[in-house]
Amino acid sequence: MTFAPFTAHTNKIFIDLKILKVREVIKLNQLILTYDFLNNNLPTDLMTLFKLSSDIRSVNQTNSVVNNLFYIPKIQSSTYGNQSIRYKCAKLWNKMFKTGSIQVKADGAEKNRISLSKIRNVHNFKNALKRHFLHFYTVDVEVIYY
């Protein structure tokens, strides 16, 4: 597709083509599922999949309320419980949005962060996540094998 040398580093190619790696595509879809839950855009059967931590905890935890963090369910089995979609999506969402915003540019300046409250629809959410993941391809450190 790009006629890059066989030994070329793939991160640059992904950035140039503006496509995500498979692991990030999975994360993107998990985050879109949780975003749809927050906006009541899921089918009725799936609306019971997640719970907000603000609905579970009786102690006033402003970070959970303000940032719409999810309750991490207790897992019954370390083999399968931590691989469930309920667990994986909640854990990923809380990790990504514990500050209420995601970084989309190289430096950590406030203007290079997108607040979740500023995102108006799933299309904008998806684009912001894609830019976020592509940004971290540039931050990856090249590994030297001996």
Give every residue of the chain whose pLDDT is below 50, as ranges.
64-65, 108, 110, 141-146
Q: What is the pLDDT of residue 130?
A: 93
Q: What is the pLDDT of residue 58?
A: 54
Judging by beta carbons within 10 Å of its beta carbon (0-12, 13-18, 19+), is residue 84 exposed, middle or buried?
A: middle
* pTM summary value: 0.80
b or e along 121-137 (b: 16 or more beta carbons within 10 Å of the residue's beta carbon)?
Answer: eeeebbebbbbbbbbeb
